[in-house]
Amino acid sequence: MSTQVEPRVEVGKCDLGYVFIYHKASKGDYTDKPERDTWQVRAGNHTIGTYDTEAQANDVARALVGEQQLTNEYVAEAPEPEYAAAARARVLKK
């Protein structure tokens, strides 16, 4: 069973609805599973994914709302691949 640790973080809105990040902690149970923290990304009534770190969840949530965060200097300087513009156009059409 898991418990929400912090208030949800509102990230923005996408086609599926409003995007939120939930920080949860699960207790160990009788099968000797250790306690662990997870971050769940939800969009509307859809669970997009559950991640082990807040950074992973934040990256996915930001990608859903269309924000691009470049934290690596090399990536920021690298040109965008040719297929990226076409793929972005297809996704935004929906």
- pLDDT one-digit tens code per residue, 40-89: 999 989 999 888 888 888 888 888 888 765 455 554 566 677 777 788 88
Q: Are strands 46-51 and 17-26 parallel, antiparallel or unpaired?
A: unpaired
Examine residue 75 and state whether it is found in any structural domain, yes or no. no
Examine residue 23 and state whether it is found in any structural domain, yes or no. yes
- Range 4-10 average pLDDT: 78
Examine residue 40 and state whether it is found in any structural domain, yes or no. yes
What is the distance, to the nearest Å, from the Cα of residue 4 to the centroid of all Cα atoms in its chain?
16
Cα–Cα distance, 79 to 25 (Å, whole number) = 39
Cα–Cα distance, 88 to 70 (Å, whole number) = 17
Examine residue 85 and state whether it is found in any structural domain, yes or no. no
| Total domains, the chain | 1
Examine residue 30 and state whether it is found in any structural domain, yes or no. yes
Examine residue 88 and state whether it is found in any structural domain, yes or no. no
Q: Which helix (H) or strand (E) holds 64?
A: helix 54-65
Is 23 or 26 the better-scoring residue by pLDDT? 23
Examine residue 78 and state whether it is found in any structural domain, yes or no. no
Examine residue 20 and state whether it is found in any structural domain, yes or no. yes
> By residue range, what is the domain housing residue 16?
2-69
Q: What count of other Cβ atoms lies within 10 Å of the Cβ of residue 68? A: 9
CA atoms within 13 A of residue 82's CA, in its CB half-sphere: 0
* pTM, to two decimals: 0.61
pLDDT of 37: 85
